[in-house]
Amino acid sequence: MDIRPLFITWDSYESPFRDEVFKALLGFFTRPYWRRMWILQEVAMAHPEAPVLCGGKCLSWTELRDAAGLITADEERFGRLIVGTLQSTWNFEIGQARLSERRPLSSERLWRLMTELLRVQSDQNDAPLSGTTTDILRPLLLARDAAVTQENDRVYGILGIKAVAERASLVPDYTLPLAVNFQRFSEALIISGNLNILRLASLLDQPIYTKGSLQTLGSRVLEAAPCVHGLPSWVICWTCATLPVAHMRASYHAGGKPNIGAQTPIVLYDSRLRVQGLIIDTIASLGTCHPAEATNKNTITSPEGRNNQYGGLEETREALWRTIVGNSTAQGDYLP
């Protein structure tokens, strides 16, 4: 028996900074100031060298960006030191902000929030390369999480940000119902040809709860609830609790690649969204391996093949869509 792991001692890290430094950083990042809508507007429009005042101290946005970037680059270490001044346990996990219980002290609400704000500022000040556009997801997520006085400002408050302005031209009208303004904004973004914002739309028919922890005495925590505004399924609601998901910035093209030849999405008179479907590939077989690697043990199922275990082409299609939906309905019941 190998007993070496019992005697291994891991290298410890002793920070050259005093605890007061990390307490000050935690207090700085947790200020509600950074999550206000008008601060998102101010940061986006500010010059990178504009001064940031805090009490009797002053630094530039560039210095603040560099500091937040330094923490983000090594947040498994710095994050523990900063949040550790308030609580002893802190896990370095991506997407902690999706859970309400962990949200206040998640990196997405602290130093990563600062880096996201300053990236919006960078996009606002830099001219995009030919044929490219700025990231639309970043300001949308910041607006959804921002503190506002009027819910309409979740969409009206970011109309001046370049990533939104280059896709949507909307005249604010506070006399319209909230649901109408949400639909107008989603429609303006979608008819610009960008369907990627559909990842933010969620249609729930029942609340979603997560298991509580010791802090909540084990009680269930409400994470998402059905929208109460009666919106079409393709419209983004900026007010109701959203699905507890982490939005990763990877290759995601719901509307296909640019210049692929698809028709512009159309919103019909009855609020239905009509889009053109594109065939980007064909499923030739189903199985546990690639056809070129098939053996007697690892077989594939070809729709027209004699060894089709499902019976034929239609039966194979049925097996595929049942697999995709987990052979269950939206309510969790088994399909007939």
The tens digit of pLDDT for each residue in 243-272 reads 777 666 555 555 555 555 556 777 777 888
Q: What is the pLDDT of residue 186?
A: 92
Confidence at residue 7, expressed as pLDDT on a 0 to 100 scale: 46
Structure tokens at 324: 């995709």
**Interacting residues of 144 by C-beta distance below 8 A, sequence separation 6+:** 154, 200, 238, 242
Residue 120 identity (one-letter amino acid): V
Q: What is the pLDDT of residues 143-167, one digit of tens each?
A: 988 999 999 999 999 999 988 988 8
Bin 268: left if φ > 0, else alpha if -120 < ψ < 50, else beta: beta
What pLDDT, on the 0 to 100 scale, is given for residue 148? 92
pLDDT reported for residue 296: 59
* pLDDT tens digits, 111-122: 888 888 988 988
Query: 6-24 pLDDT, tens per residue?
Result: 444 445 556 666 788 888 8
As given in the structure block, the two tokens for residue 22 are 């990390």
Classify each residue of 44-69 as buried b or exposed e, where b means 16 or more C-beta atoms within 10 Å of its C-beta.
bebeeeeeeeeeeeeeebeebbebbe
- 52 and 59 in contact (C-beta within 8 Å)? yes
DSSP 27-72: HHHT-GGGGBHHHHHHHHHS-TT-EEEETTEEEEHHHHHHHHHHHH
Q: How far apart are CA 323 and CA 301, in angstroms?
A: 15
pLDDT in tens, 53-99: 888 889 888 898 898 988 888 887 888 888 877 766 555 565 666 66
Confidence band, pLDDT 50/70/90 cuts, at residue 37: very high
| Residue 179 binned pLDDT confidence (cut-offs 50, 70, 90) | very high
pLDDT at 128: 58
Radius of gyration of the chain (CA): 25
In sign, the C-alpha dihedral spanning 42, 162, 109, 217 is: positive
**What are the backbone angles phi and psi of residue 196, rounded to the nearest 5°?**
-65, -20
Instruction: Please indicate, yes or no, whether the overall pTM of this predicted structure exceeds 0.85.
Output: no
What DSSP element (H or E) covers 301?
Answer: strand 300-301
SS3 for 223? strand
Q: Which residue has the tokens 């590939």?
A: 281
Q: CB-based burial of residue 31 (10 Å sphere; 0-12 exposed, 13-18 middle, 19+ buried)?
A: exposed
Residue given tokens 């303006």 in the structure block: 188
The residue ranking higher by pLDDT, 255 or 228, is 228
Confidence of residue 4 (pLDDT cuts 50, 70, 90): very low
Q: Classify the phi-psi angles of 332: left when phi > 0, otherwise alpha if psi is within -120 to 50, otherwise beta.
A: left
Q: What is the mean pLDDT of the chain?
A: 77
Rounded mean pLDDT, 303-307: 55
Secondary structure of the chain: what % helix, strand, coil (to 5)?
Answer: 35, 10, 55
